[in-house]
Amino acid sequence: MNFTGEYYDGQSSMGIAVTLSFDTNTLFVRNDTLSLDVPFDALHLDPQVGTSRSIIYLHKGGEIHSSDHDALNLLERSLPHKSPERIARRLESKLLYAVAALILTVSIIAGFLRYGLPEIARYAANHLPPSTEEQIGSQALSSLDQLYLNKSTLSQTRQSSIRSELADFCRRTECPQYRLLFRNSTSLGANAFALPGHTVVITDQLIEKSHNDEEILAVLSHELGHIRYNHILRTLLQSMGSGVVLVVITGDISNFSDLAAGLPAVLLQQGYSRDMEDEADTYALHSLQNARISPQRFADILTRIDTKGIKTATLFSSHPDTQKRIQAFIRATEKH
Amino acid sequence: MSLPRNYPFTFTGNGGEYFRIWIVNIALTLVTLGIYSAWAKVRTQRWFYGHTILDNTAFSYLATPIQILKGRLIAAALLIIYYIASHTAPLIAGIIMLAIMIGSPWIIVLALRFAARQSSYRGLRLNFSGTVGEAAVVYLLLPITTVLTAGLSLPYVAYRQVRFLASNYGYGETQSEYDGSLKPFWGVYLLALALLLIPMGILGYAVYSAAQLTAMGLPKEIVSAAVASTAITGVVALYLTIPILSAFVQARKANLFYNHIALGTIRFRSTQRSRDMIWIYISNIVLIFITIGLFIPFAKVRLARYRAEHLTLLAEDLGVFTTQAQEAVSATGSEISDLFDFDIGIA
């Protein structure tokens, strides 16, 4: 079969209209004054992408253009070197394959975010230098102090009595290293949360809501659980990681530096995963049992915070299923 | 002597076709742990070049996936070494960063040269012959002055960068020349600065009133509640202004680039309008957001089509260019600059 095209010799931009044909191993380029026989191993045809025009490149220099897609397809099939790109082209050619690629992409990303990233974050959190962790923690604390937290209104005696009770509690069960801070916050309400750098913050409002100090210890033991398993850093690294994944997928590395700037905000918005909450609950339950404090105390204060409908209580932690969590502690109490 | 003819650029690709290429590229890149990304880049480039038509002839992208892969592996290795070093040996990481900073003009020139030489039209390659010295001046030294002059030297820096690019391209043996002046750049950047003042003013007012209220002795919770709405308005305005500004600057800079570049007797006419570009940018962002990213390929095609359809080439004859052979350039410069994100694009 014959088809038409333009021949460019690679030395000049002058196009020469030619008639093209080929047999099993040679491309014939012809016009009135030109007669060129190009063996297949002296030319190269880029596999076609979509309906864009593909071009025949001659190894000695020069290009042949043609808008005859069918002829070029036939030529490509006759060439001895099959490009692996023909697989890609087949995938790109059908909407069904595109949909399959979309589903595959979404599942790989989702799978990575659900299973891969938490493991990487766990590893990284455990290997981060303590100084870095301290720095992140103190930065987060100072921005929280500016925005939400005020100096505690509790008396020094009350503060030190809670401190010594916690110290006593930690003699009866195994606690991670910690630093306890008291803050007053009407905007956060009854709340307690852990920060990177082994810091636990408890609000005056939570202490007011408690009926006895064992309830305070119960809440604090849950937060110590978050510290014990490095949940704060792991959550932070996970959300950073998912940001990186997003950037890699959309192919825009320039946003990378912006991610680091948003750390305190991430800390505020990002709740712990349910797995982490379960882990901290289990830790709290064991600690309370070790310290001979009834797990009922945790259930009591949790119920009180929850039913009073303090919405901000969920700002720092996603406690989706309070009833279910309380049940676990009540069951433990009954077994006792 | 014949009069110059108008040769309009056209873009013949459509979003639906590119969507399939795009999603297959992503899926294969994920499955092959990133190796396929080199093929993905080449196929994408070939698609965009092959659909860009001038005088019924398509542009061609010549780079091979292996070239791109080599560059990517070197760049990735550098990035990994940098990240490991920044955690274990900050001094080494600092040295690497410094070396990259100092080497950046060289990387920029290599990247521009690679991109140009892999682009061919009618069998002749483009070329880029800018020197590392001038790149160092326009991309390293002059940007420092914008910090020192609080942004006032920005028009001059932008002018020098556009001139650096526009006066160093070659097609065959023909070198490009740039005859634009500094003056119109002042217009572009003064207008951009004025636009930027709107969100900055709102944010400044929020900070000012917060300071006032704190001075009056109000507790900070009440202060932050009081200024919250102003601050949020300011931030929203800022996020709205950024795409508007970049669309405006992009459109004007593209016109200033093409309308003052001369390639032998060839001239260009670029007629991008800021308001069109702003509309394209903002609607693209909104649609990408709504479709969780699935609109990205359509957005790219829209932009490519607008740019092509607002560019015309004026020439007597496109067949008069000639060349001699050129040496090969590696892809490393191009890929390093891709990964470390140097902004060297023009249009």
Segment B295-326, tens digit of pLDDT: 889 999 999 999 999 999 998 877 777 765 44
3-state secondary structure of A11: coil
**Has residue B162 got a pLDDT over 80?**
yes
Dist. CA B135–CA B202, nearest whole Å: 38
pLDDT of residue A261: 38
Q: What angle do CA B295, B299, B302 make, to 5 degrees?
A: 140
**Has residue B9 got a pLDDT over 70?**
yes
> Averaged over A182-190, what is the pLDDT?
85
Out of A63, A104, A150, the one facing B123 most closely (by C-beta) is A63
Q: Do B20 and A105 touch (CB under 8 A)?
A: no
A 10 A CB-CB count for B239 gives 11
**Has residue B338 got a pLDDT over 60?**
no
> Averaged over A297-301, what is the pLDDT?
88
B334: closest CA among B70, B79, B129?
B70
Dist. CA A65–CA B64, nearest whole Å: 19
Cα-only R_g, chain B: 23
B residues 290-329 lying closer than 8 A (beta carbon) to A:
293-294, 296, 318-325
pLDDT of residue A188: 78
pLDDT band at A161 (very low <50, low <70, confident <90, very high): very high
Dist. CA A300–CA A219, nearest whole Å: 10
| Best A9, A16, A18, A55 residue to mutate vs chain B (most B CBs within 10 Å) | A55
Residue by residue, DSSP assigns B292-310 as TTTTHHHHHHHHHHHHHHT
pLDDT band at A249 (very low <50, low <70, confident <90, very high): low
Dist. CA A83–CA A88, nearest whole Å: 10
pLDDT of residue A266: 44
Q: Which residue has the tokens 């039209």?
A: B121
Is some CB atom of chain A closer than 8 A to the CB atom of B170?
Answer: no
> Averaged over A95-119, what is the pLDDT?
85
Supply the ipTM of this predicted assembly: 0.74
**In A, which residues are within 8 Å of B39 by CB distance?**
85, 88
Can you read off the two tokens belonging to residue B331?
A: 């892809």
* pTM of the complete model: 0.75
pLDDT of residue B342: 37
Nearest-by-CA chain A residue for B293: A250
pLDDT band at B2 (very low <50, low <70, confident <90, very high): low
pLDDT of residue A81: 74
pLDDT of residue B160: 94
Helix B37-50, helix B15-31: angle, nearest 10: 170
Residue by residue, DSSP assigns A259-306 as HHHTHHHHHHHPPPPHHHHHHHHHHHHHHHHHTT--THHHHHHHHHHH
Q: Which of A40-44, A199-203, B169-173 has the highest mean pLDDT?
A: A199-203
Out of B26, B47, B122, the one facing A52 most closely (by C-beta) is B47
| Beta-carbon-side half-sphere exposure of residue B173 (alpha carbons within 13 Å) | 9
Dist. CA B310–CA B123, nearest whole Å: 24
Q: What is the pLDDT of residues B77-116, one digit of tens each?
A: 877 888 787 777 778 888 888 888 888 888 888 888 888 8
A222: closest CA among A184, A181, A268, A278?
A278
Judge contact between A178 and A296, C-beta under 8 A.
no
Q: For residue B7, what is the enclosing H or E element?
A: strand B5-11
**Has residue A6 got a pLDDT over 50?**
yes
Sheet with A150-151, side-by-side order of all strands: A150-151, A179-184, A199-203, A192-195
Out of B46, B124, B339, the one facing A46 most closely (by C-beta) is B46
pLDDT band at B341 (very low <50, low <70, confident <90, very high): very low
**In A, which residues are within 8 Å of B338 by CB distance?**
253
**Distances from the Cα of B213 to the Cαs of A185, A283, B170, in angstroms?**
19, 45, 62
**Has residue B328 got a pLDDT over 80?**
no
